[in-house]
Amino acid sequence: MGEQFNTPRRAGSELLAAITALRDVDRTSLSNEQALELLCDIETAARIVAAISVASVIDVSDRGIPDEAGAGTVKKLLMQTLRLSHAEAGARVAAAKSLGSWHALDGSPREPELPHTAIALADGAISADHARRIAQEMKRIPALTPIAERQAAEEILSDFARTSIPDDIPKVGAEIRAHLDPDGTLTDDHDRQRMRGITIGRQRADGMSPITGEITPTLRALLDPLVAKHARPGMNNPDDPGAPGIVNGNTVIGDTTTNRDALAAAARRDRRSAAQRTHDALLAILHPDNTGQHWGTHRGVPVSTILTMNVADVEKAAGVATTATGGTVPMSEALELAQTSRPFLAVFDHAGAPLHFGLTKRFATREQRMALIATLRGCSRPGCDAPASLCATHHVRDYAKDGPTDITNETLACDACHALIHDGPGGWKTVAMDQHSQYPGRTAWIAPAHIDPTATPKINHRHHAAELLTHALNRIHDRRERERQRHQKRIHRHHPPRITVGSEDNPARIGDISLDTC
């Protein structure tokens, strides 16, 4: 046992020693690949430690240590002993409740509330953030949902999390709830109105005020396009007297494309965070000099709420409408907004591709851009979550290479991803998927050789929750099929099939499979 962790205390000491040694490693001697491998190993280890921490929190609770220490609750004990914040201590207790194996009154262990998620965390395949998002989605599933369906939902989410980022989990969760509750009896408008609210906290001595709350889908849909325009880098920057916008009296708030050079120069000077830009955008929107008719255009489309509705959902007055900023609005509220809107009719084929708008000029029309918004919903580069409101129209086959300004040759790309497309070393390429592919007409991106040596065209599924769910289900199906085949091989290896030839009334059997003899 000399080299083994023969006691928990020894194990903890060995862990601290290993981490301390790793801290002192000379990283300058590592290659780029080794540095990346080390980063991945550290992350995996941190995730496994998080799973061990869950078990430790449960052990502390079972022993009654919080009462002995005078803390009263596990949460207060963690705050006092580990010097955690109120929020972090609460998060760890919540993780223990959903991922830990607690004990019944008779001392027998109980399975975790989220067993598949607990296994994935213990494997180091997902992070604590993944687990929190999964727990949040599971809480939104109706209590009357059958146990088997709840278990299946948790398995899908945990399996999906193994290969995706936490930000995409709510999308798959929403798609699962739509399948579990196709009639829309989940959170209704009454619940949303009950939860709505914005709290502006007490003004501090420094003059600042905290703000928290939850806003309804309708308010979000109305605010998003305004913020998308006024919070662009370079817009409404109070630290830049020459910035376009309202806050400095530079009321250049119409079509920003007519001030492209000025905005680009201001964006290069902009050092604000995204949160600071949002603050300054709201200040501009609420400024007395600003009124609705002066909001102008954003990327060629009037600054307005763009809603995309499915005809079947409109007929049923159920489901949701999607916005250009990636949000959703309940159909009942969307129809109310549509009563005073200027409608734009976009018709799509069976594959979801918009109608052809053939033009010879370089820049896409407003109608083409709105069709792309309705179809793609956001940046088309795989992994990017930028909504349509932050994207430019991109020629799949470059305009300089005789690429037409047709809807079939256009896609959406955010500014950062758009800059990755070039013919030089490290440049990305875009191609249109042909009619025989799984996603005909969609734009696929080809990563440079140092990222993907196989140059495999890939589609972005992040703006299409149904596709994310389908991929998660396919992975689970493939895994179960492999497990079934391995199980069959084990059975045949330990119990070779016995062949018995029978009569017409007593057919032959091979294992559990019945065969009629000739």
d(CA 137, CA 73): 26
Question: Do 72 and 175 share a structural domain?
Answer: yes
Give the mean pLDDT of 409-422.
82
> Which backbone phi and psi does 515 adopt, to 5 degrees?
-125, 130
Highest mean predicted confidence (pLDDT) among 67-71, 407-411, 499-503:
67-71
- In-domain check, residue 2: no
- In-domain check, residue 223: yes
Q: Give me the domain span that covers residue 274.
A: 215-306
* Residue 289: pLDDT over 80: no
- In-domain check, residue 375: yes
Q: Which of 26-40, 231-245, 375-389, 483-497 has the lowest mean pLDDT?
A: 483-497
- In-domain check, residue 175: yes
Question: Do 278 and 369 share a structural domain?
Answer: no
**Type of residue at 363:** F
- Are 393 and 372 spatial neighbours (Cβ–Cβ below 8 Å)? yes
pLDDT score, position 510: 34
Give the mean pLDDT of 246-269.
66
Give the mean pLDDT of 129-157.
86
- Are 517 and 502 spatial neighbours (Cβ–Cβ below 8 Å)? yes
- In-domain check, residue 142: yes
* Residue 156: pLDDT over 60: yes
- In-domain check, residue 418: yes
Give the mean pLDDT of 351-360.
44
* Residue 372: pLDDT over 80: no
- Are 393 and 368 spatial neighbours (Cβ–Cβ below 8 Å)? yes
The two tokens of residue 21 are 């040694």
Q: How confident is the model at residue 125 (pLDDT cuts 50, 70, 90)?
A: very high
At 27-83, the pLDDT tens digits run 888 888 888 888 899 999 999 999 999 999 999 998 889 888 888 889 999 998 899
SS3 356: coil
- Class of residue 164 by CB neighbours under 10 A (exposed 0-12, middle 13-18, buried 19+): buried
At 222-248, the pLDDT tens digits run 888 888 888 889 888 988 888 888 755
Give the mean pLDDT of 414-442.
82
d(CA 444, CA 441): 9
* Residue 368: pLDDT over 80: no
- The larger pLDDT score, comparing residue 149 to residue 131, is at 131
Q: How confident is the model at residue 185 (pLDDT cuts 50, 70, 90)?
A: low
Question: Do 170 and 40 share a structural domain?
Answer: yes
Q: pTM, whole model, 2 decimals?
A: 0.52
- The larger pLDDT score, comparing residue 332 to residue 26, is at 26
Q: Which of 133-137, 333-337, 371-375, 487-491 has the lowest mean pLDDT?
A: 333-337
Q: How confident is the model at residue 254 (pLDDT cuts 50, 70, 90)?
A: very low
Give the mean pLDDT of 103-111.
77
Question: Do 59 and 168 share a structural domain?
Answer: yes
- Are 58 and 101 spatial neighbours (Cβ–Cβ below 8 Å)? yes
* Residue 256: pLDDT over 60: no
pLDDT score, position 358: 38
- The larger pLDDT score, comparing residue 85 to residue 502, is at 85
The two tokens of residue 95 are 């993780």
Q: How confident is the model at residue 384 (pLDDT cuts 50, 70, 90)?
A: confident
Question: Do 277 and 139 share a structural domain?
Answer: no
Q: How confident is the model at residue 342 (pLDDT cuts 50, 70, 90)?
A: low
Question: Do 38 and 175 share a structural domain?
Answer: yes
Q: How many domains does the chain have?
A: 3
- Class of residue 145 by CB neighbours under 10 A (exposed 0-12, middle 13-18, buried 19+): middle
Q: Which of 189-193, 212-216, 277-281, 416-420 has the lowest mean pLDDT?
A: 189-193
- In-domain check, residue 64: yes
Work out the percent of the chain whose per-residue pLDDT is above 90: 13
Name residue 410's beta-bridge partners. Answer: 395
The two tokens of residue 410 are 């256009």
Question: Do 140 and 40 share a structural domain?
Answer: yes
Question: Do 170 and 37 share a structural domain?
Answer: yes
pLDDT score, position 74: 92
Question: Do 176 and 38 share a structural domain?
Answer: yes
306, 330, 363: which is the final residue of a domain? 306
- The larger pLDDT score, comparing residue 69 to residue 1, is at 69
- Class of residue 356 by CB neighbours under 10 A (exposed 0-12, middle 13-18, buried 19+): exposed
pLDDT score, position 463: 79
463, 478, 504: which is the final residue of a domain? 463
Q: Which of 25-29, 188-192, 246-250, 332-336 has the lowest mean pLDDT?
A: 246-250
- Are 419 and 412 spatial neighbours (Cβ–Cβ below 8 Å)? no
* Residue 498: pLDDT over 50: yes
* Residue 388: pLDDT over 60: yes
Question: Do 167 and 117 share a structural domain?
Answer: yes
281, 306, 331: which is the final residue of a domain? 306
pLDDT score, position 56: 92
Name residue 431's beta-bridge partners. Answer: 444
- In-domain check, residue 98: yes
Question: Do 291 and 241 share a structural domain?
Answer: yes
Question: Do 52 and 117 share a structural domain?
Answer: yes
Average pLDDT, the chain: 76
- The larger pLDDT score, comparing residue 120 to residue 443, is at 120
Residues in the chain: 518
pLDDT score, position 503: 47
